[in-house]
Chains A and B, each alone.
Chain A
């Protein structure tokens, strides 16, 4: 895990190394200052040398300034390294998330991905920064003080040999106990995130059912769980300090006691004992710092694991081995296709065989849950088939470069999504380099131009997130225009005019016929009128093809089709 994280430091390696180096220099200065002071007292005062005192005094000030410069320098390097490291992590994660298929995303849930990208990265960043700034400082202090202690009385400093492993073991135990609590805590963060997100999206339904109180309770539960887990984790960590103090004072007591005996035997002087005691303080406080860093790392470990999970996740759908870049034409073939969503296990599509020629218009009808949307989502490879194959332009879709394939297959989804930004920006998703004329033309085809022009800001009108400030039918027409701008070889409309009034719907179909005759058009609809004049109409029933043919044939051969048709025509006969 650590290796995977560390490899993300990349261009900030220099700063990552520089920071501890500068810290080392800073520490050296800090060590020199008391030594100089000792000289000042020993030689300056005892030698009654005023000049010496002033000289050393100046040297002390110089040391302080140098220490400041190094300190600021290390701060800058550490800041650069940690901010850059975090940015790299977020970037790598997000880039990987962008390649995720939907089953990948379903596995984590959006909320969890977002938490990992934010909260977890922040926690790793903090630990990293702390680590490169203090992880060097404490060992240096430790080594320095230990060396001094050994110089004074090697035999007595053996005590530390016992104390340090005991301390280390204690810290290790504490952090091992705390780690699962932290993991649990982060999981609850995901839950919290989900509740907030869901409530924001479904606020109308929550309010309509007057369920605010219940949702609040659910949120409070998640917040309470976080409180409980962090409290538990911190409670374990709180043992850290007393443990340190216990070790520290045990050492001091032992040193004093043994030291006293040594002094009795004239093996040591009182002054030496004093110095030894002050060095032992320093040794143990450095250890204490190390312990704190360790705790920080424990906390970050849980986050680090969650980050690596995202980094390691391989997308289910990747470019085919042939990596075909060009889609020859808009023909589509389904050969014995079977499909099931990974999560649900149940077969959604079975034994699907279809042959659609380039430029044809194909209508798909079928009951709710009969697999219409699943069928068309296989064409641009939003999902992969479970068995059989789908061919576009004569080649298996799995042989194409994914982007090249999706560029030629334009799809208007059932659930329309617009992104915050202006109308024009949203339309440009279809084609970044579209000229204003092209945009207007696409909107005219989708019957969107007239209402867009009615907005005071026209094409520059700002859409809120999710497009809440346009009506459902307007949204659908914007999405159609967006799909048209791609000038694809295949255009799929997945029940995309359900909220558009019938007249506009007819106008859109007319425009398709006149303006883009060469494009293969697949239209999923509930209204027979929307598909009646298609070259082929596919009737789906419970994941299987029940009938295929044009309107007249189906009226004769398909009971389902006839029933649907008649149910919609009844109004006329009354």
Chain B
């Protein structure tokens, strides 16, 4: 590490703690707009809610994308006693939901509960509900209505070299993109896109890429860290930024992947590979846009993804920041 990187982790704290489940990313977009307004030429929000921030230049059209949304739950029914029934928004692990706290956009809090007397078979179907501490439907409706979404809460803590918080997936990507944006000095026409609805199938990135028609796209996201006490053989914490090779939605062109690896090696940036067989990312729809877009992905390994208690490390964050900065200094030419 070159050691003189000075990332503003208080910004990461604000971003992770804000509310933004898929389809409800306005609060995050507002924060990002606030932080970037002195550094950019043009800001727009498209129909789906993607925030597109442009640093105009004469060179290549480069799209840097990070998704703003986080997993959550959506209220589908309010019963007579004021209990809220819900569905998952994005890939939530239902088994881990019992007694978790959730928060709505209006800062109404609830706790996830479940019937105690159900048979084991019924329990496995996960008949969970949200308890917001009211006694009637009428009382509940003063705070919540059908269609409202809530997110899992999870405080931001800096544990020495590690960070624990909710929504590191993918406010961390937004954070890195914002830090790179602030320091960008190049000549290219760079579109920093903060996308919506990645967690439900990478929907926002599709319309954004269609509108921008980039010459090159780089997606920054988080990825599963596989290191548990007995397994350390795949993408792991503290092994640096992960360069995407493949996920369920993309096979990165070897030319792009090798360009990224070369830049990492030249600049002594510690890196590893991201190869996952489950789960897609924004890189999926982006690389298939129109006649095809050269697309690469960089990802920061995170433990306990989608849990509200995600763990990442400053070493990996800094290497991701450095790689993205260096990639922009030497953009891929086809």
A, B from the same assembly: no
